[in-house]
């Protein structure tokens, strides 16, 4: 299994609105793609900003293409993200995922 991790930052005052947006728009879209095993949002408040991670789990690198397109290393953004995010990181990270049995 593959874990896909994206990071974004908002102003603190937009953190709750952005969380609602991600939960309503992005997470359901992840879950609709064949090969997705789940998707979650992590949020950390840090002074006057909020850090967000989306963490999604996939059957394979090729299944991620159904969500991200042919270059799965590129971050996927929604038009609404420009209302919230302070910057647009160009890439995401992927990790092989193992449980205690390998």
Q: Show me where the domains of the chain are located.
A: 2-96
> Residues 6 or more apart from 58 whose CB is under 8 A from it?
1, 2, 3, 4, 35, 36, 37, 64
Residue 84: predicted pLDDT:
98
Question: From the CA atom positions of the chain, what is the Rg in Å?
Answer: 14
Residue 102: predicted pLDDT:
62
Chunk the chain into consecutive blocks of 10 residues (it has 102) and report each block's average pLDDT, rounded to whole numbers. Answer: 98 98 95 96 98 97 94 96 98 93 70
Domain 2-96 has CATH 3.30.70.100: yes
Residue 95: predicted pLDDT:
97
Output the six-digit token pair for 62. 């090729």
Residue 101: predicted pLDDT:
78
Residue 99: predicted pLDDT:
85
For strand 2-11 and strand 49-58, is the pairing parallel, antiparallel, or unpaired?
Answer: antiparallel
Cα dist. 10→4, 27, 49 in Å? Answer: 20, 18, 6
User: pTM higher than 0.85, yes or no?
Assistant: yes
Residue 49: predicted pLDDT:
98
Residue 64: predicted pLDDT:
96
């Amino acid at each position: 299994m593959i874990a896909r991790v994206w990071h974004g930052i908002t102003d603190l005052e937009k953190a709750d609105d952005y969380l609602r947006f991600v939960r309503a728009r992005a997470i359901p879209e992840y879950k609709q793609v064949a090969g997705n095993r789940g998707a979650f949002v992590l949020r950390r408040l840090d002074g006057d900003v909020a850090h967000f991670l989306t963490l999604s789990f996939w059957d394979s690198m090729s299944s991620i293409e159904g969500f991200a397109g042919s270059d799965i290393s590129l971050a996927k953004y929604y038009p609404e993200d420009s209302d919230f995010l302070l910057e647009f990181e160009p890439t995401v990270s992927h990790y092989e995922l193992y449980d205690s049995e390998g």
